[in-house]
């Protein structure tokens, strides 16, 4: 078993909750991460999250098998956003061969680490033997991680779940196998695959990992506010936190979390106008990266998330789902901003 450690010496204090994280030879200047989310963490979204204080970002989950077999469309997911000074590429794979060989095409993008997904619960991923299916075969996690670490000197990190079902909780074994393979960080979403995203995540799993293993431990699950981040670090002692669904439509959460972890009392929550401005900013980035046709369709889910809880947001969302062009969205946002008594002068054209 990898080296164990004295947990009490690692408990965070309010004075140092925001801190640099060292992952093998990589120093990340902060401990507030954006999780890789299929269908959401494209370059445009990662760009606004970085602008609002995310310490580290990951690509969407990438199929190593598709990369290995030459799917160029899949490779576009590995492209770096313009402000990502550091970033990671997350892959999913059920095969040591495709995992290792996919790096030949992924490493030219110059990621700072490679993350192996062992937690995705989506049926089509699980059926391929990847994602959370690997929680049923912890030894296979070790072999895939070993194949990756033998292929590159970059840090290899692993994201796991607490287990396959409540009757087969085995995150400790999965973490041990990942570390035996050479993993440099373990992140955990402490729900089982059977739970998907229902119920409550069990933060005690995060704490137990931190108590046991002498590598950085990152926690995820039920993080929606900066206060949630503080509470997770204080309750579990984890080195870093990873926002997932809580960041969708709310990149401001990184700014909020950094302020709270740093003890900054001057943080001001975004106004409704600022939320709408950021939504449009992300739309502009999406058009820059993906072209208008693709961007306006893929942004609908983000725009709906941005307007959740905003005065008049429900009626506005009903319009958003019918938008088909930049100009249509512009008109919609103009009308909505006028209802909020906002201004557009500083928005991108």
Q: Which residues are catalytic?
A: 120
In terms of residues, how long is the chain? 349
Q: Which residues of 234-253 are buried (b: 16+ CB within 10 A; e: fewer)?
A: eebbbbbbbbbbbbbbbbbb
**Other Cβ atoms closer than 10 A to 224:** 14
Round to whole Å and give the CA distance between 255 and 270. Answer: 10
What's the CA angle centered on 33, arms 30 and 37, to 5 degrees? Answer: 165
Sequence-distant (6+) residues with CB within 8 A of 275 are: 250, 252, 306, 307, 310
Closest CA to 185 of 164, 165, 213: 213
Q: What is the DSSP string of 184-243?
A: SEEEEEEEETTTTT-S---THHHHHHHHH-SS-EEEESS--SHHHHHHHHHHH--SEEEE
Round to whole Å and give the CA distance between 148 and 168. Answer: 27
State the burial class of residue 70 (Cβ atoms within 10 Å of its Cβ: 0-12, 13-18, 19+).
Answer: exposed
CA distances, 149 to each of 116, 132, 146, 237 (Å): 11, 21, 5, 27
Say if CB 251 and CB 274 are below 8 A apart: no
Say if CB 219 and CB 232 are below 8 A apart: yes
Sign of the C-alpha dihedral computed for residues 38, 41, 44 and 45 taken in this order = positive
């Amino acid at each position: 078993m990898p080296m164990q450690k004295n947990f009490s010496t690692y408990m965070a204090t309010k004075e140092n909750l925001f801190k640099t994280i060292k992952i093998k030879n990589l120093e990340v200047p902060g401990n507030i991460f954006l999780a890789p989310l299929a269908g959401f963490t494209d370059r445009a979204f990662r760009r606004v999250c970085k602008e609002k204080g995310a310490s580290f970002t990951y690509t969407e989950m990438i199929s190593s098998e598709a990369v290995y077999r030459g799917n160029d469309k899949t490779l576009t997911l590995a492209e770096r956003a313009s402000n990502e000074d550091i970033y990671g590429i997350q892959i999913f794979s059920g095969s040591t061969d495709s995992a290792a060989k996919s790096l030949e095409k992924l490493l030219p993008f110059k990621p700072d680490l490679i993350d192996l997904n062992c937690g995705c619960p989506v049926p089509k991923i699980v059926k391929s033997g990847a994602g959370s299916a690997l929680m049923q075969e912890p030894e296979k996690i070790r072999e895939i991680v070993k194949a990756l670490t033998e292929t590159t000197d970059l840090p290899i990190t692993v994201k796991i779940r607490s287990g396959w079902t409540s009757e087969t909780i085995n995150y400790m074994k999965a973490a041990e196998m990942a570390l035996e393979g050479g993993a440099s960080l373990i992140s955990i979403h402490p729900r089982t695959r059977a739970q998907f995203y229902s119920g409550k995540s069990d933060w005690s799993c995060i704490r137990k990992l931190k108590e046991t293993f002498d590598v950085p431990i990152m926690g995820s699950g039920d993080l929606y506010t900066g206060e949630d981040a503080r509470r997770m670090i204080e309750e579990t002692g984890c080195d870093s936190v990873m926002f997932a669904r809580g960041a969708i439509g709310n990149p401001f959460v990184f700014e909020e979390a950094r302020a709270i972890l740093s003890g900054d009392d001057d943080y001001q929550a975004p106004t409704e106008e600022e939320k709408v401005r950021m939504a449009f900013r992300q739309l502009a980035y999406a058009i820059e990266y993906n072209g208008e046709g693709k961007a306006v369709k893929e942004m609908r889910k983000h725009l709906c998330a941005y307007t959740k809880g905003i005065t008049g947001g429900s009626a506005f969302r009903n319009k958003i789902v019918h938008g088909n062009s930049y100009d249509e969205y512009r008109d919609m946002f103009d009308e909505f901003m006028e209802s909020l008594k906002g201004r557009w002068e500083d928005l991108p054209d």
